[in-house]
Amino acid sequence: MVYILGIESSCDDTAAAVTKDDLILSNVTANQEVHKSFGGVVPELASRAHQQNIVPVIQAAIQRANISKNQLSAIAFTRGPGLLGSLLVGISFAKAFALGLRIPIIETDHLQAHILVHFLRDGSTMKSPPSFPFLCLTVSGGHTQIVLVKDYFEMRVIGQTIDDAAGEAFDKSAKIMGLPYPGGPMIDRYAKDGNPAAFRFSKPNIPGLDFSFSGLKTSILYFLRDRLKEDPDFMEKNKADLCASIQYTIVNILIQKIKMASQQTGIKEIAIAGGVSANTGLRTALENMQETGSWNVFIPKLEYATDNAAMIAITGYLKFLKKDFTDHSATPYARSGM
């Protein structure tokens, strides 16, 4: 039996989880409220909040797993990409705790972990994991990638954004509308009562499997500026329709590219991962692909879509099987190694 403690601290969530082999035993996340009034994540404040949260979060994860810390086989942590100060808190804690327990540490890549969460066994999930090779659309606050996953640790990025990430497109659109940070979940919530065909925004014309979202933001900005000149209450009156239309446009761009990737590679196994995979519109669009086409789709449960440590623990377990341990000289990296 392998027990892994996973620690995730790359951005503004302090998270810890425990797995027993590939089965999740506990999954604890502390969100940082401190950033709300700034309209975005403030790195210095994030590091400080991690420092305050990390001990209680890890304690809770071990307690809820109903094991003793002495049963842990290894500690997995996010080495990058992310905010350096935030990553340092998780990494330093992992090293110190592992030294005390005389167990190995295992580094994980945040983006790989988002994908590998599909191999986590959760008591309530019946569907078996994707089979290799599969395509994964990884959509988060910092990344938008189509990844060809040949094996657990054999991944190739075959398409990515040339400017903003999909999560940024949601967050920046929300900011233009005066919605609080993070805007993605807010847009999702208002979109439920809106008409996705109410407004049309220009779609990017990027060849191949790459994405671009910065033009959409500008298109929304100019559209609203013109409408607000005619009616200062336009935004308030049309909030739901605006959110539904923005969401529809972003989801459409994502789905179009993943279908193109499927056509080019002949791969019909399609997974989504990352914070934006929590979006209702994207989840429904993917379910529709399965119902109306020959695709087999994999949608993570909500708690495994946004940042979490369960994905770090399962990645740690898969590396543990290969005895792929990390030296204590490891330092964080800010940019993706994928």
Q: Which residues bind ligand KG4 (CB under 6 A)?
A: 11, 140-142, 167, 170-171, 182-185, 188, 274-276, 278-279, 306-307
- C-alpha distances (whole Å) from 157 to each of 73, 89, 112, 226, 267 are 32, 29, 11, 39, 15
End-to-end alpha carbon distance in the chain: 30
Residue 279 contact partner, candidates Zn ion, ligand KG4, none, CB within 5 to 8 A by sort of partner = ligand KG4
CB of 157 to ligand KG4, least distance (A): 15
Q: Which is nearer to Zn ion, 98 or 271 (CB)?
A: 271
Residue in the shown chain whose Cβ atom is closest to ligand KG4: 275
Instruction: Return residues touching Zn ion (CB under 5 A).
Output: 140, 307
- C-alpha distances (whole Å) from 180 to each of 33, 113, 208, 323 are 12, 28, 34, 44
CB of 307 to Zn ion, least distance (A): 4
CB of 169 to ligand KG4, least distance (A): 8
Q: Which is nearer to Zn ion, 246 or 311 (CB)?
A: 311
CB of 38 to Zn ion, least distance (A): 20
Residue 159 contact partner, candidates Zn ion, ligand KG4, none, CB within 5 to 8 A by sort of partner = none
Separation of CA 96 from chain center: 27
Closest C-alpha to 262, from 299, 283, 289:
289
CB of 33 to ligand KG4, least distance (A): 15
Distance between CA atoms of 148 and 134, rounded to whole angstroms? Answer: 6
Q: Which is nearer to ligand KG4, 11 or 286 (CB)?
A: 11
What tokens does 66 get? 């109903």
Q: Which is nearer to ligand KG4, 159 or 281 (CB)?
A: 281
The bridge status of strand 13-20 relative to strand 23-31 is antiparallel
